[in-house]
Amino acid sequence: MPQETEQDIRTRYIYPALLAAQWDQDRILEGRHLQNYITKGRVLVRHGYAKRQAQTAKYADYILELIPDLPIAVVEAKRWQQAAATGLQQVKEYAQLLEVPFAYASNGRQILEFDFITGLEREIATYPTPDELQARWTQQRRWSAALLQPTYHAPERPLRYYQKIAVNRVVEAIDAGGRTRLLVCMATGTGKSTVAFQICWKLSQAYWNRQQKPKQKPRILYLADREVLVNQPYNKDFAPFGEARHRIVSSEPPVFSRQMFFAIYQALAEDERRSGLFKEYPCNFFDLIIVDECHRGAARDNSNWRRILEYFKTAIQLGMTATPAQDEEKNSVAYFGPAIYTYSLKQAIDDGYLAPYCLKRIVTKIDAYGYHTEAGQLDKFGQPLPNQTFETPEFDSILVHEKRTEAIAKHLTHYLITTNRFDKTIVFCVNQEHADVMRRVLNNLNQDLVQQFPNYVCRITSDEDKLGKRLLQEFQDTETTVPVLVTTSEMLTTGVDAPTVKNIAIVRSVGNMATFKQIIGRGTRLQESKGKWFFTVLDYTGWASVKFNDPDFNAPPESIDIEELHGYTGSTSGGPRDDTGKNIQDLRRPYVVEGTEEEAAIIAELDFDLNDQDQNLQVTRYLSRTQNKLRSLYRQPFDLQSRWHDPEFREQFFTELEEEGIDLNEIIAQQGHPEVDILDLLCALAWQQPLRTRKERATAARQNHPDFFVKYGEAARVVLDKLLDHYVEYGERDLTYPEVLKLPVMVKLGNPKEIINYFAGTPAVLQNALSELQQLIYPVN
């Protein structure tokens, strides 16, 4: 029987068989190429370090496409010695993820097919041809000219699996002609603009239009409520449309001769000069209207924007959003209908397409206990203060406590000093004035860098106008160094693509889940080439901690640190309150008090983590969690101790703990005994075994087994002594062959060949000696 690997099966049997079935090379995607991975594998973050879990990446051996980005089948290879059926469950999982109707598993001798349309599993002699599969799929879906149009080819940015699904679902729904209002929900950073562009491209290439006029391309309106939401897709994703694009500006007369129109609602709506620019277009002018961030008002009954959509009621209207939640979700679904595709933040993080995040909860004394003022007291500007206790939601909107602002700014500055002072950071403030005050305090705390980079700290709000737009563009640019610290109120909550943002500081109340998700979305983009694998949320008001625990938020953080007052274990003040986004400064000048440093002190730190069972936040000690995990894996310490001398077992054990989110470096740091062997730390933690230092273990090995150290000769004895000294200093991980030969202490004793010669001149003898040495270090009692 041939001893052929999966690679052999793919290249010798499956690929030639696919070619014979008329699947040409352009229709066959080899999943093991990185660009064809279905998912990339989640990024795991522990103790400030990130690592992509390659074992969680999903890729099929072959994905078969009718046309580019329209997959129809998945093929999985198994070894010759294995039954083809062993690959069927896995390939069915991939097929369901890709939403394709056919799955195949083969070991070279046998081909098994699973048909999701009929539910039939059977053995077949040859693979069906593309035409045969398309004919069978016709039983389930309606084929259209638009659906069968290829997407725009951009090899540097291939579509991800979920983007293909979103594009094809929308195109199919539009061409079917049933619903005239559609909704797509995709997490911030997952490529909504890319999906919108490919939808428009396919419809355009098919000459689809509502009037069904031959050879007439559709007229499409891309609508949003902010300039940045229109400018980014106009200049980037939709650039291939070239001169067919037109930017609608309220101060200019309407243009009718283009195909792709981009506008903000305000440019089309009524103003003092005209009754509404939108009325100057025929009501049936547009075939398709794409509403970006549609939750922000387009679907509300009383919205001026709603009147624009109702005027163009003959057009297909596609709402796109990242955050349909609570009232926004009700409005969006009521108007656009249920989402025809949803790709959540949690799914995107699990798939490895978005950055995970860590949470730091910082509590000042004034936030923990409130700030009480007495009637008759005056604030800094002579305003009479009420007899009232102010709490977190009132700070910086009703009452400004200057020392609290300074304390938060100092903490954030210190955090950047201990991590990286050039990690781009957004500070979300209560309003524009608060953003300016925070900017000034941060500026003065970072004078050394501001001297070199005047724009190191900036405020970016709607007040800044052209200057703010320029600073925003520089902040978004992945190649620029500054701005680094940016303060804002509302302007950066949505639509800003800044891939290198590594920190989000929340110094405001966020009662609205949609707004909170948008804030978190500013940091979710991965930027591996720039070393951005995760981001950190610094929560100074408690609202992030509240929202992360809300069932409406479905992506729990990787890790949580809480800095708080000694003895304070309460919740944030009052829970969620109304968050209108209005600038309260416009209503009444807030009270301003200087306060004291003691009132705003941040003086303690506790660790929080995730509940393994339900992935909700809970107050839990990291070491307790490790203890429970060890006890679940091993009934007694002997079960672990008896196998610890085996390096392969140890590596498997370390990997298993890592996959469970347990970091050995964290255990060592929290136990506070770096001189103790990691085995003894674990046994003490789980079963209260006595601690033994590595030096004690080494001494015992020398004293109890002197014959071992001399049996290979004097030169070998020196090597073994040095290795034991190395273990005392650094631990057990380097005591394996051939890695041991690369240790600095070994290099000083000779080159690899000389070291091996000390042990009878054969690697096997050296390996046996290393194995025996580890058995002496870790004897089984």
The answer to whether the predicted template modeling score (pTM) of the entire model surpasses 0.75 is no
The pLDDT value given to residue 362: 84
Task: Find out whether 565 and 368 touch, Cβ atoms under 8 Å.
Answer: yes
The pLDDT value given to residue 129: 97
The least confident of 367-376, 521-530, 569-578 is 569-578
Helix (H) or strand (E) holding 669: helix 664-671
Helix, strand, coil proportions of the chain in percent (round to 5)? 40, 20, 40
User: In which band, very low, low, confident or very high, does the pLDDT at 569 lie, cut at 50, 70 and 90?
Assistant: very low
**Distance, CA of 345 to chain centre:** 7
pLDDT for 171-195, tens place per residue?
Answer: 999 988 778 999 999 998 899 999 9
Q: What angle do CA 607, 618, 329 make, to 5 degrees?
A: 120
- Whether residue 568 is predicted with pLDDT greater than 50 in this model: the reply is no
The least confident of 316-325, 537-546, 734-743 is 316-325
Angle of the 763-777 helix axis to the 714-730 helix axis, nearest 10: 50
Task: Find out whether 96 and 83 touch, Cβ atoms under 8 Å.
Answer: no
Average model confidence (pLDDT) for the chain? Answer: 85
Q: What is the mean pLDDT of residues 23-30?
A: 91
User: In which band, very low, low, confident or very high, does the pLDDT at 317 lie, cut at 50, 70 and 90?
Assistant: very high
Report which residue type is found at 439: R
Greatest alpha-carbon pair distance for the chain in Å reads 100
CATH architecture classification, 161-343: 3-Layer(aba) Sandwich (3.40)
User: In which band, very low, low, confident or very high, does the pLDDT at 364 lie, cut at 50, 70 and 90?
Assistant: confident
Give percent of the chain with pLDDT exceeding 90.
Answer: 51
Helix (H) or strand (E) holding 689: none
**Distance, CA of 442 to chain centre:** 28
Q: How far apart are the first and last CA of the chain?
A: 46
Q: Which residues contact 38 (CB under 8 A, 6 or more apart)?
A: 31, 58, 59, 60, 94, 97, 98, 161
Look at 690 and 223; give whichever has higher pLDDT: 223
- Whether residue 573 is predicted with pLDDT greater than 50 in this model: the reply is no
Q: What angle do CA 374, 375, 377 make, to 5 degrees?
A: 75
Domains 6-137 and 161-343 share a fold: no
User: In which band, very low, low, confident or very high, does the pLDDT at 723 lie, cut at 50, 70 and 90?
Assistant: very high
- Quote the CATH superfamily of domain 357-610: P-loop containing nucleotide triphosphate hydrolases (3.40.50.300)
Name the residue among 719, 717, 701 with its Cα closest to residue 773: 701
The least confident of 431-440, 461-470, 727-736 is 461-470
The pLDDT value given to residue 576: 33
The first and second tokens of residue 647, run together, are 């390096």
- Whether residue 621 is predicted with pLDDT greater than 80 in this model: the reply is no
pLDDT for 580-620, tens place per residue?
Answer: 344 433 446 899 999 998 888 874 333 343 333 343 443 33
Please give the C-alpha separations between residue 40 and each of 51, 186, 771, in angstroms, as whole numbers: 12, 18, 37
Enter the DSSP assignment of 464. G
Three-state secondary-structure class, residue 107: coil
**For residue 634, which phi and psi values (nearest 5 degrees)?**
-135, 130
Question: How far apart (Å, rounded) are the C-alpha atoms in residues 573 and 16?
Answer: 67
Look at 494 and 282; give whichever has higher pLDDT: 282
Task: Find out whether 44 and 658 touch, Cβ atoms under 8 Å.
Answer: yes
Q: Starting at the edge strand that comes first in sequence, how are the strands of the sheet with 70-77 ordered?
A: 28-30, 62-67, 70-77, 102-106, 111-115, 120-124
Residues present in the chain in total: 781
User: In which band, very low, low, confident or very high, does the pLDDT at 345 lie, cut at 50, 70 and 90?
Assistant: confident
Reported in sequence order, the residue ranges of 8-119 that DSSP labels E, i.e. its strands, are 28-30, 43-46, 49-52, 62-67, 70-77, 102-106, 111-115
Bond prior to 752 in cis (omega within 30° of 0): no
Strands 424-428 and 485-488: parallel
The pLDDT value given to residue 2: 54
Domain range list for the chain: 6-137, 161-343, 357-610, 621-687, 694-777
pLDDT for 267-276, tens place per residue?
Answer: 888 766 667 8
pLDDT for 657-677, tens place per residue?
Answer: 877 667 777 677 666 678 889
Q: What is the mean pLDDT of residues 489-498?
A: 68
The pLDDT value given to residue 494: 58
Q: What is the mean pLDDT of residues 23-40?
A: 82
Enter the DSSP assignment of 534. -
The pLDDT value given to residue 461: 78
The pLDDT value given to residue 585: 39
Report which residue type is found at 298: A
Fold for the domain defined by 6-137: tt1808, chain A (3.90.1570)
Look at 313 and 543; give whichever has higher pLDDT: 313
